[in-house]
Chain A
Amino acid sequence: MISEIIDIEFFHPSAFYIIGGLLIPFLRGRVRQGYMLLVSFLAFFAVIKMPYGVHGVHEFLSWELTFGNVDKLSKVFAYIFTIMGVIGVVYSFHVKNNGEHLSAFYYVGGSLGVTLAGDFLTLFIFWEIMAFSSVFLIWYRNIPSSVDSGFRYLLWHVVGGLILFSGIMLHYSESGDLSIQYLPFHGWWPTDISSLGYFLIMIGFIVNAAVPPFGAWLPDSYPAATVTGAVFMSAFTTKTAVYALIRVCAGSEILIVLGVIMAIYGVVYAVLENDARRLLAYHIISQVGYMVAGTGLGTQMAINGVVAHAFCHILYKSLLFMGTGSVLYVTGTAKLSELGGLYRTMPRTMVYTIIGGLAISAFPLFSGFVSKSMTVAAFGEEHIMWAFLGLMLASAGTFLHTGLKVPYFIWFGKDKGIKAQEPPWNMELAMIIGSVFCIGLGIFYNYLYALLPYPVHFKPYTAYHTWETLQLLLFTQLGFFLLIKKLWCEDTISIDTDWFPRKGARTLMWFVNKPLAMLEYNFVGEIYEFIIQKPIMRAAEFFRWVDTVIVDGFFSGVAELILRWSRQLQSVQSGQIQQYAMIMVGGVIVLILITVILP
């Protein structure tokens, strides 16, 4: 009925978020809540209505920009991104800061733009919009460590973006084609120019997928973000990168190795972690490891598994971030060493978080079971046993931390007598929606399988497979309770690969401040003064005479004018990099709008 009234072939779902978001700063209270919910629902319906095919092609200079490349793969990602958009909006209803809503909207819009992009240039533009809008979700936390962390986040993504861009340019100079194609990278290192292009594109993607050693930005920044910001961030950046990897790099064997390493690496760090949200961040790395490995395998079953897993992962991981975020919101801390005994005051939040924990651990009847097992089974089918066993090991670790350690130390453990209550109604509602999805997808998995890019022959609930998983998980639980004394948390941090840039930058700054400054001041400065400054001063003396006597009269009027202009321009130069970044993002968006609107 509705489709008969409104008959628009293709309406880009990003447009709802990016153009619709502009109204948010002018609205307040319930009106704003209703408006945000409406926009996020409209974007979801736009995705439902998207017909398969290529839409939104615009000429820009000598290039063809394609904004709407819709096939089964991009559509399923667009579905989950818009569903997550609705959940995230509900969870952040209570937030008063308009800027936070706006950056979340641009972030979601950016990821939808990447998903539907048909050429590398469009992909790159939305890729950068994602980075520059999401960093505000960190900065709006407004504590000193989050400001620092936001800058580091931005630096990682700018570097990753530049690597991606150089790869795209190399590929373009070789092939003269910018459309997004399947460009797998084979081998361990690039051997010629075109494979260097593929290699750089892959590296650009895996920086955003948080593949070690380029993944340290994720556990650094997500726990530094605002309560609601982290919920958005847990869903979009890495999964958009997984989408891009599937589309461009599926079947690159190196990804299998990186993915399995990544799955175990995240688990190892999670053992050491004290901050619950950082622990979950390491588990994003671990879970995305399954997806990266499956993408590297590249068989139809593996790709189906990866897509299904990305879909379920977004839902359960955001649920987990919502649960721990609620604890942070109510108690003011997410450190396990400071929490304990909250089951008396926040029992419902506990139930939601445990549902998320069971889903991520792939417990039968929960969403992770129907998706993770498909990816892992794909390795079994291909008889790559080291990867299969490595991923099974990581599964045990996942349950150990997210299913057991996090709930145990927050809600049980030592009762610290913290005053707490359940979070506001909207946060709880969002967690209920997330929980319903986590259980619903585990039971009615056929609806999910129907959305996957290839036909599915995999059956999750065979007797042996269910039994295999139950044994693995319940005996992990036995291990947890036997070794629980070893797992008590201390208030420490663990160094990651960002040690190199962070400590390296310190050495560089020392070098600049001490030897280099000394050299410049004592040696270069002296020479400069003797050879250049003194003769110039003499020449200047002469010109000053010319100037004051002849030129001044004419130009004092002009100077007055320029002074007035520059005073006005000065107000733009606030010296705040955050504001510059916002202006740049605004400029890019205006440019995009111009290309789209102009014929």
Chain B
Amino acid sequence: MRLIDIIERLRTRMVKKIAYCILVLLILVDFIIPRHEIHFFGDSIPGFWSLFGFISCVIIIVVSKWIGHHWLIKDDGYYDQ
């Protein structure tokens, strides 16, 4: 099978559904994962890093875009003017 065919196979709704199942599974399994070293409160909450990852992603996108549009983004030829 060619590489392109494999890639095309992976772009179906079925794969998307499996991906969502994996996300749910990640949180569920986190309830039974043994914790050796607890550095701070977040380490003892099941699913904490899922939430942290999701919120981090949203914050990074929203905050960066906000700063960008209000301040940092300029036209491609900004320095040549």
A189-197, A298-306, A344-352: which one contacts chain B?
A344-352
The reply to whether A396 and B60 contact each other, CB–CB distance below 8 Å, is: yes
Q: Cβ of A344: which chain B residues have Cβ within 8 Å of it?
A: 4
Instruction: Return the CB mask of B22-33 against A: 1 if under 8 Å, else 0.
Output: 110011011001
Q: Cβ of A463: which chain B residues have Cβ within 8 Å of it?
A: 33-34
A492 to B69, CA, bound (A): 11
Q: Cβ of A393: which chain B residues have Cβ within 8 Å of it?
A: 52, 56, 59-60
A268 to B51, CA, bound (A): 20
* Total A-B contacts with CB atoms under 8 angstroms apart: 142
A267 to B64, CA, bound (A): 9
The reply to whether B72 and A494 contact each other, CB–CB distance below 8 Å, is: yes
| Cβ 8 A contact of A272, one of B54, B68, B79 | B68
| Cβ 8 A contact of B54, one of A385, A397, A475, A494 | A475
Given the known interface contacts A271-B64, A464-B36, the answer about A392 and B52 at a Cβ–Cβ threshold of 8 Å is yes
| Cβ 8 A contact of B53, one of A269, A475, A487, A491 | A475
A475 to B30, CA, bound (A): 14
| Cβ 8 A contact of A347, one of B4, B22, B61 | B4
A271 to B3, CA, bound (A): 30
Interface size class of B (residues with CB under 8 A): 35 or more
- Contacts of B24-71 to chain A: CB distance below 8 A: 26-27, 29-30, 33-37, 39-40, 43, 47, 49-54, 56-65, 67-68
Nearest residue (CB) in A for B60 is A397
Tell me whether chain B's interface is mostly helix, strand or loop, or mixed: helix
The number of chain A residues with a CB under 8 A from chain B is 49
The reply to whether A347 and B3 contact each other, CB–CB distance below 8 Å, is: yes
Is A25's CB within 8 Å of the partner chain B? no
Given the known interface contacts A396-B53, A474-B23, A474-B26, the answer about A494 and B60 at a Cβ–Cβ threshold of 8 Å is no
| Cβ 8 A contact of B29, one of A271, A388, A467, A480 | A467
Instruction: Return the CB mask of A459-502 against B: 1 if under 8 Å, else 0.
Output: 00011100111111111101110010011001111111000001
- Within the complex, the shortest CB–CB distance from B51 to chain A, in Å, comes to 7
A495 to B39, CA, bound (A): 38
Q: Cβ of B43: which chain A residues have Cβ within 8 Å of it?
A: 464
Is A383's CB within 8 Å of the partner chain B? yes
Given the known interface contacts A380-B37, A492-B74, the answer about A470 and B26 at a Cβ–Cβ threshold of 8 Å is yes
Tell me whether chain A's interface is mostly helix, strand or loop, or mixed: helix
The reply to whether B7 and A476 contact each other, CB–CB distance below 8 Å, is: no
Instruction: Return the CB mask of A293-328 against B: 1 if under 8 Å, else 0.
Output: 000000000000000000000000000000000000
Nearest residue (CB) in B for A498 is B79
A478 to B49, CA, bound (A): 13
The reply to whether B75 and A271 contact each other, CB–CB distance below 8 Å, is: no
Nearest residue (CB) in B for A382 is B39
The reply to whether A272 and B73 contact each other, CB–CB distance below 8 Å, is: yes
Q: Cβ of A487: which chain B residues have Cβ within 8 Å of it?
A: 61
A502 to B78, CA, bound (A): 11
- Within the complex, the shortest CB–CB distance from A351 to chain B, in Å, comes to 7
A268 to B68, CA, bound (A): 9
- Within the complex, the shortest CB–CB distance from B76 to chain A, in Å, comes to 6
The reply to whether A479 and B61 contact each other, CB–CB distance below 8 Å, is: yes
Is A108's CB within 8 Å of the partner chain B? no
- Within the complex, the shortest CB–CB distance from A126 to chain B, in Å, comes to 32
Q: Cβ of B36: which chain A residues have Cβ within 8 Å of it?
A: 462, 464
A381 to B36, CA, bound (A): 12
- Contacts of A416-440 to chain B: CB distance below 8 A: none
Q: Cβ of A112: which chain B residues have Cβ within 8 Å of it?
A: none
A351 to B3, CA, bound (A): 9
A472 to B7, CA, bound (A): 25
The reply to whether B39 and A492 contact each other, CB–CB distance below 8 Å, is: no
A36 to B35, CA, bound (A): 51
| Cβ 8 A contact of A475, one of B51, B73, B75 | B51
Q: Cβ of B47: which chain A residues have Cβ within 8 Å of it?
A: 471
Given the known interface contacts A271-B65, A343-B4, the answer about A492 and B33 at a Cβ–Cβ threshold of 8 Å is no
A354 to B57, CA, bound (A): 19
| Cβ 8 A contact of B40, one of A385, A471, A474, A478 | A385
| Cβ 8 A contact of A492, one of B7, B22, B34, B76 | B76
Given the known interface contacts A343-B4, A385-B40, A471-B27, the answer about A476 and B54 at a Cβ–Cβ threshold of 8 Å is yes
A347 to B36, CA, bound (A): 42
Instruction: Return the CB mask of A324-338 against B: 1 if under 8 Å, else 0.
Output: 000000000000000
Q: Cβ of B68: which chain A residues have Cβ within 8 Å of it?
A: 271-272, 494
- Within the complex, the shortest CB–CB distance from B19 to chain A, in Å, comes to 8
Is A292's CB within 8 Å of the partner chain B? no
Q: Cβ of B50: which chain A residues have Cβ within 8 Å of it?
A: 471-472, 474-475
The reply to whether A471 and B30 contact each other, CB–CB distance below 8 Å, is: yes
| Cβ 8 A contact of A474, one of B34, B53, B79 | B53
- Within the complex, the shortest CB–CB distance from A501 to chain B, in Å, comes to 11
The reply to whether B56 and A392 contact each other, CB–CB distance below 8 Å, is: yes
The reply to whether B57 and A475 contact each other, CB–CB distance below 8 Å, is: yes
Is A43's CB within 8 Å of the partner chain B? no
The reply to whether B34 and A397 contact each other, CB–CB distance below 8 Å, is: no
A383 to B37, CA, bound (A): 12
Closest 8 A/B residue pairs (Cβ): A479-B57, A271-B64, A475-B53, A396-B56, A472-B53, A471-B49, A380-B39, A475-B54
19 further A-B pairs in the complex, CB-CB below 8 A; given A475-B49, A483-B58: A343-B7, A392-B56, A396-B52, A396-B56, A463-B33, A471-B27, A471-B53, A474-B22, A474-B50, A475-B26, A475-B51, A475-B54, A476-B53, A476-B57, A478-B23, A492-B76, A493-B73, A493-B75, A496-B72
16 A-B pairs with C-beta separation under 8 A: A267-B60, A347-B7, A350-B7, A388-B39, A393-B60, A396-B57, A463-B33, A467-B30, A470-B26, A472-B50, A475-B50, A476-B57, A479-B53, A486-B62, A493-B79, A495-B74
